[in-house]
Amino acid sequence: MTIKAVLFDMGGTLITAATLEEVIKIYDKILQAYGMSYSLDRIAKAHQKASRQLDISRLADVGKDFWVMFNLILLKDLGMDKNQALDLAKTIDREWWDYADVELYPDVLPVLHELKARKLKLGIVSNGLESDIEHVMKKVNLEGFFDVEVGVDTFMCMKPNREVFLKTLKLLQVSPKETLFVGDSLENDYEGARNAGIRALLISRRNNVTNCEVEKIHSFWELLSFL
């Protein structure tokens, strides 16, 4: 059956994903901008504690307030009082993407334009919030480029839950057999899409996936041969 739509994961697939070290440095930059100085090691320990108390798997359940709650735990562990911490937690959430460096992988933009030229429907299915997708797309000059942008708060569920894939297809009015999904996570993207009946490609730019049964690509250009 002819492919009519291509869906993508965002972080690690379309854009370079921030490492934990980079995340800690972003916190540091924001804290310093508001006159607060802590060692990177101290921030990292507070971040680790917040991660234990509020696991990322709860993002779909908590929704838009997740990162404010996460930041609040981190800031209170740094010794801030509740009122000061709550105000700053909201500020960090609001200003995060002003401090975060975001860039597309170099092979992404030309291939996306080629897909557009072929009149394919394009979408993002991310385990981030809708607001995160919006900020990132604005920073990489792809605002309004995709036909759908689905975050965990769109349907209040996360990949690899098959429902997030199937509900996205309903928005695009295409069937699983008419769709191709591209992502960098074996569990969330590849297996999640396949469980929804969608053909999936695992992008492995460093060729670090050895499973020979997985359909892999090492560059965005390679996905064109699957259309």
Query: How confident is the model over 188-207, as pLDDT tens digits?
Result: 999 999 999 999 999 998 77
Residue 54 half-sphere exposure toward CB, CA atoms < 13 A = 18
pLDDT tens profile 69-122: 999 999 999 999 988 899 999 999 999 999 999 999 999 999 999 999 999 999
Name the band, by pLDDT with cuts 50, 70 and 90, for residue 213.
Answer: confident
- pLDDT score of 168 more than 80: yes
**Mean pLDDT for the stretch of residues 146-150:** 98
Residue 104 sits at the vertex; the CA angle it makes with 102 and 108, to the nearest 5 degrees, is 165
Nearest to 96 by CA among 140, 144, 56, 131: 131
**Taking the C-alpha atoms of 192, 205, 7 and 188 in order, what is their torsion angle to the nearest 10 degrees?**
20
| DSSP characters over 153-218 | HHHT--TT-HHHHHHHHHHHT--GGGEEEEES-IIIIIIHHHHTT-EEEEE-TT-----TTS-EES
**In angstroms, rounded to a whole number, what is the distance separating the alpha carbons of residues 60 and 129?**
9
Q: Which helix (H) or strand (E) holds 10?
A: none
pLDDT of residue 194: 97
Asked if omega into 160 is within 30° of 0 (cis), the reply is yes
pLDDT of residue 211: 67
- pLDDT score of 210 more than 70: no
**Mean pLDDT for the stretch of residues 131-160:** 96
Residue 139 sits at the vertex; the CA angle it makes with 138 and 142, to the nearest 5 degrees, is 50
Nearest to 185 by CA among 173, 194, 172: 194
Question: By the 8 A CB rule, do 40 and 78 touch?
Answer: no
- pLDDT score of 1 more than 80: no
Q: What is the pTM of this model?
A: 0.93
Question: By the 8 A CB rule, do 142 and 159 touch?
Answer: no
